[in-house]
């Protein structure tokens, strides 16, 4: 893939979280537990929406698709991270590194777009409840979901391809647990600031446009909620939006520190912790946030887990 005339790097070394073997085992166990909880929680939401007919609405269909996205988002990085904890070499192939790089950013961008679509759904449901069924149809929901995936996966291929064509002549050690733009660009023998600036400009554009849209949607939602005469109606509306706002705050709070605000003053360890927050911890918390604040979802999840228990006993 890389055609440098000097010497070609065929693999990279992901240092991850270096430390003694017993620390590596503890970290491996913790990340594995979080990963299993993420898969279980998001799969439970998908099953609940699939099996409960009362949840066959655009809001819950978007939530199920969001859970499906979260499963792939953590799976593109966590399995290789877990393997590195137990590996002595901690290597990843050149092509494997850039494939992970592509999927990590494409899935992250798709998540930003998904959160915007979910904010639009909440806006319609609260600000235009009478027109909501005619506007947010199953067909429109499907189109919005497909657009999120399409735009998310068409945003980065060209830039990542150009980064992969830069000459990498050594060293090949990445002080991170995944292949990210900064450590990869730092390893190039002839780094190109234009490509890096274009990459960060594109990432910032996706982040800023989507967060401004989300904030604008919820400003209109807040104004509509405050006009509701009954306090019970206000509580119900705030409860409906609260889960989504918590997820947005957790996700955007960390990615804006990494890809929008200047991070040159932060340590490498801080970069790893911030990346770990939005790539591993937040996807694990999302099922809890959405289920604990939603009575319909809690009821459906109880049916899912009770049904699994009955099948296990029988």
pLDDT tens by residue, the chain, 314 residues: 444 444 478 899 999 888 899 999 999 999 999 999 999 989 988 988 888 888 888 888 999 999 999 999 999 999 999 999 998 889 999 999 999 999 999 999 999 999 999 999 989 988 888 999 999 998 999 999 999 999 999 999 999 999 998 888 878 999 999 999 888 988 888 767 888 889 989 998 999 999 999 999 988 988 888 776 666 666 666 666 777 788 888 888 888 877 766 555 557 888 888 889 889 999 998 888 877 666 677 777 777 666 555 444 44
Name all domains of the chain by residue range, CATH numbers in brackets.
Answer: 15-313 (1.20.1070.10)
Structure tokens at 95: 């092509």
Strands of 11-14's sheet, edge to edge?
91-93, 11-14, 173-174
pLDDT of residue 240: 63
Give pLDDT tens digits for 247-293.
888 888 888 877 766 555 557 888 888 889 889 999 998 888 877 66
**Confidence (pLDDT) at 10:** 87
Residue 6 pLDDT: 46
Measured CA to CA, the distance from residue 123 to residue 131 in angstroms comes to: 12
Q: Return the pLDDT at 67.
A: 93
Peptide bond preceding 171 in cis form (omega within 30 of 0): yes
pLDDT value of position 293:
63
DSSP state for residue 53 in the 8-state scheme = G
- In whole angstroms, give the CA distance from residue 292 to residue 156: 35
* Cα dihedral 102→202→152→187 (10° resolution): 10
- Helix axes of 282-292 and 231-259: crossing angle, nearest 10 degrees: 180
Q: How far is CA 48 from the centre of its chain?
A: 21
């Amino acid at each position: 893939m890389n055609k440098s005339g000097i010497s070609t790097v065929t693999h990279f070394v992901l240092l991850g979280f270096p430390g003694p073997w017993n620390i590596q085992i503890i970290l491996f166990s913790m990340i594995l537990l979080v990963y299993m909880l993420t898969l279980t929680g998001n799969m439970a939401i998908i099953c609940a929406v699939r099996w409960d007919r009362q949840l066959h609405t655009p809001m819950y269909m978007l939530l199920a698709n969001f859970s499906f996205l979260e499963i792939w988002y953590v799976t593109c990085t966590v399995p290789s991270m877990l393997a590195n904890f137990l590996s002595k070499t901690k290597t990843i192939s050149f092509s494997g590194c850039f494939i992970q790089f592509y999927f990590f950013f494409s899935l992250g961008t798709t998540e930003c777009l998904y959160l915007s679509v979910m904010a639009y759904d909440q806006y319609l449901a609260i600000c235009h409840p009478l027109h909501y069924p005619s506007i947010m149809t199953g067909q429109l929901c499907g189109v919005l979901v497909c657009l999120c995936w399409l735009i998310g996966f068409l945003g980065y291929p060209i830039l990542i391809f150009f980064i992969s064509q830069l000459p990498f002549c050594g060293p090949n050690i990445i002080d991170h647990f995944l292949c990210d733009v900064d450590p990869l660009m730092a390893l190039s023998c002839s780094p190109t600031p234009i490509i890096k600036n274009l990459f960060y400009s594109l990432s910032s554009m996706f982040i800023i446009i989507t967060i401004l849209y989300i904030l604008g949607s919820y400003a209109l939602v807040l104004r509509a909620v405050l006009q509701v005469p009954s306090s019970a109606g206000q509580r119900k509306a705030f409860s409906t939006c609260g889960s989504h706002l918590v997820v947005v705050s957790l996700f955007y709070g960390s990615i804006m520190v990494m890809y929008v605000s200047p991070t040159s003053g932060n340590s490498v360890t801080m970069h790893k912790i911030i990346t770990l927050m939005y790539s591993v911890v937040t996807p694990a918390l999302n099922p809890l946030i959405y289920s604990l604040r939603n009575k319909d979802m809690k009821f459906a999840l109880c049916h899912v887990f009770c049904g699994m228990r009955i099948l296990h006993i029988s």
